[in-house]
């Protein structure tokens, strides 16, 4: 198994919980997966949220799994400023087990 690097994205800011709360069924977090640490770290550092509240952060595989569950797959690509694919968003897919 190839090592992967994960980043979390929350449009409301990284100070929100990763998990559902009692008053909400919404999980605002999305998970991005990268094949190398450099691309993941650059993606996190390129966060340009206008109010100064960061929306991207480095997360562990365990946190990625808790956000997404076991049943997901790599989906839409993430590209850098030159248009090169550097990673993918994880998306729910109940027919695929991504994390073992």
Does 85 have pLDDT greater than 90?
A: yes
Q: Quick one: pLDDT at residue 78? A: 96
Q: If pLDDT is split at 50, 70 and 90, which confidence band does 88 have?
A: very high
Dihedral sign, CA of 16, 21, 24, 25? positive
For the stretch 17-72, pLDDT in tens is: 776 555 555 668 999 999 999 999 999 999 877 667 899 999 999 999 988 989 99
pTM of the model: 0.86
Structure tokens at 32: 């991005």
Q: Quick one: pLDDT at residue 24? A: 58
C-alpha to C-alpha distances, 36 to 6, 30, 84, 97, nearest whole angstrom: 9, 19, 14, 22
Q: Quick one: pLDDT at residue 26? A: 61
Round to whole Å and give the CA distance between 53 and 47: 9
Structure tokens at 91: 């998306």
Round to whole Å and give the CA distance between 85 and 4: 15
Ordered by start, the domain boundaries in the chain are: 5-15+28-92
């Amino acid at each position: 198994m190839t090592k992967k690097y994960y980043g979390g994205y929350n449009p409301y800011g990284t100070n929100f919980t990763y998990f559902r709360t009692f008053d909400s069924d919404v999980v605002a977090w999305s998970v991005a997966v990268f094949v190398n640490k450099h691309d993941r770290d650059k993606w996190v550092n390129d966060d340009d949220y206008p109010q100064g509240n960061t929306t991207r952060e480095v997360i562990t595989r365990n946190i990625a799994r808790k956000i997404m569950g076991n049943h997901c797959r790599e989906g839409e690509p993430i590209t850098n400023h030159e248009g090169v694919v550097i990673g993918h968003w994880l998306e729910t897919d109940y027919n695929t087990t991504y994390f073992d």
